[in-house]
Structure 1
């Protein structure tokens, strides 16, 4: 399914976004250094019944950085709100994984009127689960990134189970558009420390959940992992059971069709207007 492309100005940056399909709006916020097209298989499946929106985060691939550094999760959330405003007038269902889940949570707190429902898949939140051993490993990742960004991303992937999860037959990431080394340098200079600096609290999320449906999810293949435990803790604070999804931390790419089935089920259970 072809995507319609657009750009929007955002505090000095120019953000690239794309849309597929028609219907209720659904925003996908990528994990890692994922570009708008990284989850195109999931987007195509959801676009059968929805308008699916995705974008390149500030500083990655087709989106410029605008010189607004250091990057914060709040800045990313404001960017996501601007993308939604450019693509739709309706509140959107938002699906975010990893850093995308954390951005989605900041979005739900800062721009509650733009989000009707948020599926937060394994958000990395030390404010929820502080693991000192993991923090020490992340310090090593940060040090490695000053010398070799590819080695750093390899170490980081090993911490999240990257490359160890199963892959649904036929599943793949969309074709890479940007320069991987430039994206890695930006990610480790800006997004990686921004995630670690985020102090978003469970209380803020619970307050937002009074008007916006927030669902914490974890991959069945991630059980016991730190991000999975973050999702578990968030689910408890939101007073619901953790919803398990096919695959692991990277299920938006590794299990697009199986995940779409589960997402559509959640959409139906929460109704056309969750609020």
Structure 2
């Protein structure tokens, strides 16, 4: 029986080179790290609560997003930088080695962490990493990304998100799109948009994993794909990475953000993949 989570989150900050990272810790037991990019700690809070009954669960806002301030707002956020941040956070909470679940850009951060600090990771579940350089049409996808960034830089925020979702292969009903990406949004959210489009999107999607290092890593690497993501770009990139690593992808409930849409349905599958089911 999986214990019910009742432990509240304890928030903290950690000074790292060029940034002050906001993080939250819940529960006690073996360490699980839940990471996204650009999604921060809040998006993972429901899933973290479900795991905290028998785990120490670490979540964080990636540098430049949410409550994790950076010294240089014009500096790009690379997977290597975010991996170094994660390494420092894992060492700071002193509960590793960690089981790491990274989704989207967080999956790319997790892969970079395994490459740089495999001793800190027991298992990484890289859920839908958007690694367009692994695709046969990488050049075309690169051009689409450049157009998205240019659209945002020209001041058309909604247009940039429409193009981003089109490239991703994700369709949203118009009322949902307006609620999520319309003009009437909090200034802090708009600042996160600026960071994502200006300093995180291209470094994340154009990162090239070191396949030889990942194949030989002592950390176990799992490539996760949402059952409802068929045909989307992250389904394609994830399958390409799994094939390059000679791995069979692990399917998870829901789509690209299934962990947030239905955390109660997602948590048992995550436990199973981590080897706890």
Residues 131-150 of structure 1 mapped to structure 2, 5 A cutoff: 131=137, 132-147=139-154, 148-150=156-158
Match of 1:196 among 182, 190, 205: 205
Structure-2 change in CA distance of 1:155 and 1:113 (3 Å): same
Could you say which residue in structure 2 is the equivalent of 1:39? 44
1:155 correspondence with 2:132: no
- 1:18 Cα offset (Å): 0.3
1:238 correspondence with 2:245: yes
Aligned residue pairs: how many?
Answer: 257
8 Å contact from structure 2 (residues 133, 206) kept in 1: no
Match of 2:65 among 60, 84, 87: 60
8 Å contact from structure 2 (residues 131, 206) kept in 1: no
For structure 2, the 5+ residue unaligned runs are 1-5, 174-184
Could you say which residue in structure 2 is the equivalent of 1:17? 23
For structure 1, the 5+ residue unaligned runs are 166-175, 271-275
8 Å contact from structure 1 (residues 219, 251) kept in 2: yes
8 Å contact from structure 1 (residues 247, 255) kept in 2: yes
- 1:242 Cα offset (Å): 1.0
Instruction: Give the TM-score normalised by structure 2.
Output: 0.86
- 1:255 Cα offset (Å): 2.1
Take 1:243 and 1:23, find their aligned partners in 2: how far apart are those partners? Answer: 25
Take 1:193 and 1:233, find their aligned partners in 2: how far apart are those partners? Answer: 19
RMSD: 2.2
Take 2:87 and 2:134, find their aligned partners in 1: how far apart are those partners? Answer: 24
Larger RCO: Structure 1 or Structure 2 (Cα < 8 Å, ≥ 6 residues apart)?
Answer: 1
Instruction: Give the TM-score normalised by structure 1.
Output: 0.86
8 Å contact from structure 1 (residues 160, 249) kept in 2: no
Residues 1-275 of structure 1 mapped to structure 2, 5 A cutoff: 1=6, 2-31=8-37, 33-67=38-72, 69-131=75-137, 132-147=139-154, 148-162=156-170, 164=172, 179-208=188-217, 211-268=218-275
